[in-house]
Amino acid sequence: MKLLSNSSKHLMAGAFVAAGLILSSSTALASHIPSGLSFAEEFTVNPGAVGEANASFNARYIDFSYTAEVDQTGFTFAETGGGFFGTFRNSLGGAPILGTGLGVNYQLYALFSGNGTTAMAPGSGVDGTFTGFSVDFFVDLSLDTAFGLSGGSIVTTAGAGEDIKVLSGVLGSHSGGFHVFPGLAAGDFNVEFDATPVGGFFGGTAFAGGSTVGDFNGVNTSVTGVALPPNNFTDAIIIGSGNTSFSPVPVPEPGILFLLGIGLVGMGFVSPRAKEKQFAV
């Protein structure tokens, strides 16, 4: 098991100060998301749900930095990664929310895995599409969790015994993808997922309907070991930063439901006699 160095961990956390601030003014970058959801809905964060003394607050975005390990065979890939969240915000490019306790009294991080397909992108880059994706958010009460590389996957390697899961997500019927640009060791990514809060840490308007979609989007700042298809990745390591946000699944308005109901009732009045006419010779 290879443990990421403390300097690497601190670099990841410190990336929020530089790259994270730049990313916060960006919208979703990778052109793989057709849903049209706004991902600007307010959500509530309640540190008291995990035993922290900080008061609850509202936010719309969380900045993060991450490290991922990618293996590609032919035109398919598998990826695992972990990222630390560093800043809550109410607007893209806005000032960080103060007094949240994040990074002082507790840490918030995510572990994710995904798989999918790759193809040559315009300009000879790599264009990837997720066919599977899952993610879990954890609160680290002791601020001692680290990420490491074990068996070709990014895993927690220290201090995770007391960590508390506060959200889980799966790709579901959503989509996601990434680009890796040739010659730049850089790229972008975006993925949507069904988000389910756990234990009351997340709540509020964005989670009120019970069906909530999360969004990860951002940029890669370092890509090592990358090769263009159909060559293989050899333990490629990607480092990047971005933000995540949530959007409730739209609920049809009562008028639409009423019209739909009328349509279904109307279908019920297609009598056997009409069906007999349809099949009469």
Amino acid at 43: F
* CA–CA separation, 200 and 178 (whole Å): 31
Tens digits of per-residue pLDDT, 33-71?
556 787 889 999 999 999 999 999 999 999 999 999 888
Residues in the chain: 281
pLDDT attached to residue 1: 32
pTM for the model stands at: 0.78
Residue 72 tokens read as: 């590609």
In the DSSP assignment, the letter for residue 31 is T
| Burial tier of 273 (Cβ tally within 10 Å: 0-12, 13-18, 19+) | exposed
In degrees rounded to 5, what are phi and psi of residue 45?
A: -115, 125
Query: Hunting for tokens 């809550």 — which residue is that?
Result: 88
* CA–CA separation, 218 and 190 (whole Å): 7
Bridge partners of 202?
Answer: 45
Tens digits of per-residue pLDDT, 133-160?
999 999 999 999 988 888 778 888 767 6
| Burial tier of 8 (Cβ tally within 10 Å: 0-12, 13-18, 19+) | middle
| Angle, vertex CA 25, rays to CA 171 and CA 193, nearest 5 | 5
pLDDT attached to residue 184: 61
3-state DSSP assignment of residue 10: helix
Say how many C-beta atoms besides its own lie within 10 A of residue 262's C-beta: 10
CB 246 within 8 A of CB 167: no
Query: Hunting for tokens 């315009």 — which residue is that?
Result: 122
pLDDT attached to residue 197: 94
- 275-281, Cβ contacts within 8 angstroms, sequence gap of 24 or more: none
DSSP letters spanning 138-179: EEETTS--EEEEETTEEEEEES-TT-EEEEEEE-TT--EEEE
Residues of the chain where predicted confidence (pLDDT) is lower than 70: 1-35, 121-124, 158, 160, 182-185, 210-211, 226-235, 250-281
* CA–CA separation, 122 and 182 (whole Å): 10
